[in-house]
């Protein structure tokens, strides 16, 4: 009887330990995936702001250029 109880506790402990390690591994990959997507999103937003800056830039014409035309 005592051997069965110790075998059950050992099996249960191994199972719980495995589940905890597996949950941390899944959490790690989820965090990595979110980090990668956040970096892509930040890059897209940065590029969008740069394009908006280029569009809103005033065109400066020097006086000599206006005389040539």
Domain assignment present for 39: yes
Domain assignment present for 68: no
pLDDT (0 to 100) of residue 55: 79
Q: Please check the confidence at residue 34 and state whether its pLDDT lies above 80.
A: yes
Number of domains present in the structure of the chain: 1
Q: Please check the confidence at residue 66 and state whether its pLDDT lies above 60.
A: no
Residues across the chain: 69
Domain assignment present for 34: yes
Residue 19 to residue 23: CA distance in whole angstroms: 6
Residue 55 to residue 49: CA distance in whole angstroms: 10
Whole domain around residue 15: which residue ranges? 2-54
3-state secondary structure 44-64: HHHHHHHHHHHHCCCCCCCHH
pLDDT (0 to 100) of residue 59: 66
């Amino acid at each position: 009887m005592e051997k069965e109880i110790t075998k059950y506790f050992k099996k249960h402990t191994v199972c719980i330990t495995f589940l905890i390690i597996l949950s941390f591994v899944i959490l790690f990959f989820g965090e990595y995936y979110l980090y990668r997507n956040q970096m892509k999103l930040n890059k897209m937003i940065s590029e969008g702001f740069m394009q908006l800056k280029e569009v809103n830039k005033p065109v400066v014409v020097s006086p000599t250029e206006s005389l040539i035309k």
